[in-house]
Amino acid sequence: MELLDHLRREFVYDEWANREVLAGLKAADVAPAKPLQLLAHIVSAKRLWLERIRKQPQSLPVWPDCTLDECEAQIAELASLWREYFFELSPAGLSETVAYQNSKGEPWTSTVEDVLTHVLLHSAYHRGQIASQVRAGGNAPAYTDFIHAVRQGLIE
């Protein structure tokens, strides 16, 4: 499988996993504050990195204060925006560089491939934190294992 196709598939998984986390939080009587804050951060960061790649101004704070419904809307919109981006992206585009400032105002340059990999790992990291906090609260976290999604045919 070509790297670009692999990354596209990973972003499909990431979208599915974020929807699963959202559904789990929505199923709770009251969404715990910290898991909701982390989910809002995941979607905000996914938007931020796409805006950086596209050289667009940052539209959301890194740590936004969002409701579950706002997270749901963001997840749906981001899925469409990322699919559009991947449709336009060529394998050679993975080597292009992105110049940006991090949240501390420090200037950096990264390849598109590294940014895409970071977005995926960043989401997984924070989904793990959400799962840990949900479990510590006495609830079962969303089952977002990649292999589960593949075995169940939830992603291609």
**Whole-angstrom distance, CA of residue 77 vs CA of residue 73:** 6
Q: Rounded to whole angstroms, what are the CA distances from 115 to 23, 71, 100, 106, 112?
A: 27, 22, 11, 16, 5
Beta-bridged to residue 100, according to DSSP, are: 108
Q: Tell me the domains of the chain and their CATH numbers.
A: 3-151 (1.20.120.450)
pLDDT confidence of residue 92: 97
* pTM for this model (two decimals): 0.94
* Local structure of 67: helix, strand or coil: coil
pLDDT digits (tens, 9 = 90+) for 101-151: 998 999 999 999 999 999 999 999 999 999 999 998 888 999 999 999 999
pLDDT confidence of residue 32: 79
pLDDT confidence of residue 30: 60
